[in-house]
Amino acid sequence: MNNIQNAPFMVDFIRTVTNMYTHGWDERNGGNVSLLLENDELYTYLDQDSVIRTIPTGFDAPELIGKCFLVTGTGKYFKNVQYDPENNLGIVRIGKDGKTAELLWGFCDGGRFTSEFPAHMMSHTIRLGIDPEHRVVMHCHPCNLLAMTFIHDLDEREFTRTLWRMITECMVVFPDGINVLPWMLCGTNEIGLATAEKMKTARLVVWAQHGIYGTGKDLDEAFGLIETAEKAAEVYMKIAHLPIKQSITDKELQIVADAFGVKAREGWLEL
């Protein structure tokens, strides 16, 4: 067996959560990430028959049976992951009943996966149905996006149009826009279902007064989506209280979309 700590997916994952921490998106235990692994690759590092323990998930995910995920642990600090991955991270496989997770590696102090496991797994299910190359769900608490949910209309079309206007390339990065959930209690199946529903039409979902979810085919794509949305929100928070002299028009946003070969969310530009 190869050493799993040297696996490219493990190295990439640890670098990414460390980077999220240094961006200030993950105070204390804030945020969580899950990465869908390729079983053939994983089983060159782990014996697929060695299940350390099984953990009930509290929901049914029949579409994910047999799939393996590298996931952050509940209550664990992103800043510590690089120094002790086996304690702060785990690899789980969704069991044959669809309702349990089989721990194959990690959570070695007896811990378990993030409290947002329902939102992660339900979002994976939806995004995989839309894009078979989808692999990552990422959640964090970036300051400016969070701040924006206190002062901006939460209508997702208006929220997105504001952010599209803040940096020319937002249209290129997230033409599908950002969906928004009102405040809800976190860590529940209910917010998981609501998040997954919002994932049907966008790869980014804001949780008002809490944070954001980004998804993608790899860690870079999910990170880059959040990074770009957060930068746009930062520009907004710097200018929202100032008189605006000029901005990007919807016609110009359409010119950007055409130039980069992307399609803005249907009906979201006023042309």
Binding residues with ligand 13P: total (CB under 6 A): 13
Q: Which is nearer to ligand 13P, 31 or 192 (CB)?
A: 31
Span of 7-15, 113-121, 126-134, 146-154 interacting with ligand 13P by CB under 6 A? 113-121
Residue of 124, 1, 108, 109 whose CA lies nearest to 59: 124
**How far is residue 233's CA from residue 256's CA, in Å, rounded to a whole number?**
19
Report the partner that residue 74 touches, choosing among ligand 13P, Zn ion, none (CB closer than 5 to 8 A by kind): ligand 13P
Give the type of residue at 131. D
Work out which of 29, 57, 162, 228 binds ligand 13P, going by CB under 6 A. Answer: 29
Q: Which is nearer to ligand 13P, 4 or 138 (CB)?
A: 138
Minimum distance between the CB of residue 172 and ligand 13P, rounded to whole angstroms?
29
Site string for ligand 13P, 66-105 (x = CB under 6 A): ------x-xx------------------------------
Minimum distance between the CB of residue 221 and ligand 13P, rounded to whole angstroms?
20
Minimum distance between the CB of residue 115 and Zn ion, rounded to whole angstroms?
9
Does the protein bind ligand 13P through residue 32 (CB under 6 A)?
Answer: yes
3-state secondary structure 32-84: EEEEECCHHHHCCCCCCCCCCEEEECCCCCHHHCCCEEEEEECCCCHHHHCCC
Alpha-carbon torsion angle 5, 125, 155, 151, nearest 10: -20
Residue of 203, 152, 148, 144 whose CA lies nearest to 179: 203
Does the protein bind ligand 13P through residue 115 (CB under 6 A)?
Answer: yes
116 is catalytic: yes
DSSP-H helix ranges across 113-199:
117-130, 143-151, 156-166, 170-173, 189-198
Work out which of 100, 114, 123, 228 binds ligand 13P, going by CB under 6 A. Answer: 114
Residue of 81, 73, 69 whose CA lies nearest to 109: 73
**How far is residue 85's CA from residue 80's CA, in Å, rounded to a whole number?**
8
Interacting residue ranges for Zn ion, rule: CB under 5 A:
211
Interacting residue ranges for ligand 13P, rule: CB under 6 A:
29-32, 72, 74-75, 114-116, 139, 186-187
